[in-house]
Amino acid sequence: MLPSLLFPLYSSSYLHQTSSDHILKDASPFPSDFLFGTASSAYQYEGAYLTDGKGLDNWDVFTHENPGKIADGNNGDVAVDQYHRFLEDIQSMKYLGVNSYRFSISWSRVLPKGRFGGVNHMGIKYYNNLIDALITNGIKPFVTLSHFDFPQIFENQFKSWLSPEMQNEFGYLADTCFKYFGDRVQHWITINEPNIQIGFGYISGMYPPSRCSMPYGHCTQGNSETEPFIVAHNMILAHAKAVQIYHTKYQKEQKGTIGIAVQTTWFEPISDSIADKKATERAQSFNFNWILDPIVYGKYPEEMVNILGSALPQFSSSEVKTLMNYKPDFLGINYYSSYFIQDCLITACTSGAGASKVEGYVLKLIQKGNVSIGEPTDINWLHNYPEGFRKMLNYLKDRYPNVPMFITENGLGDLQKPETTVKDLLHDTKRIRYVSGHLDALRSAMRDGANVKGYFVWSLLDNFEWSYGYTLRFGLFHVDFTTLKRTPKQSASWYKNFIEQHLNTGDLTFKR
> Which positions touch ligand NOJ (CB under 6 A)?
1, 41, 44, 192-193, 334, 409, 458, 465, 474
| Contacts (Cβ under 8 Å, ≥6 apart) of 52 | 109, 120, 122, 123, 126
Q: Do residues 5 and 216 make contact, with C-beta atoms less than 8 angstroms apart?
A: yes
Smallest distance, ligand NOJ to C-beta of residue 413, A: 6
Which residue's CB is nearer to ligand NOJ, number 76 or number 301? Answer: 76
Smallest distance, ligand NOJ to C-beta of residue 212, A: 20
Long-range (24+ apart) CB contacts under 8 A made by 15-18 are 15/370, 15/371, 15/372, 16/371, 16/372, 16/373, 16/374, 16/375, 16/385, 17/375, 18/374, 18/375, 18/384, 18/385, 18/386, 18/387, 18/433, 18/437
For residue 409, indicate whether it is catalytic: yes
Q: Any idea what DSSP says for residue 216?
A: T
Smallest distance, ligand NOJ to C-beta of residue 193, A: 5
Whether omega for the bond prior to residue 372 falls within 30 degrees of 0, making it cis, is: no
The catalytic position among 409, 419, 465, 500 is 409
Residue 315, Cα to own-chain centre: how many angstroms? 25
Which residue's CB is nearer to ligand NOJ, number 44 or number 92? Answer: 44
The backbone region for 352, taken as left when phi is positive above 0, alpha when psi lies in -120 to 50, beta otherwise, is left
The Cα–Cα gap between 469 and 198 comes to 19
Which residue's CB is nearer to ligand NOJ, number 176 or number 192? Answer: 192
Smallest distance, ligand NOJ to C-beta of residue 386, A: 17
Smallest distance, ligand NOJ to C-beta of residue 310, A: 31
Which residue's CB is nearer to ligand NOJ, number 190 or number 342? Answer: 190
The Cα–Cα gap between 222 and 229 comes to 12
Which residue's CB is nearer to ligand NOJ, number 200 or number 498? Answer: 200
Identity of residue 85:
R
Active-site residue list: 409
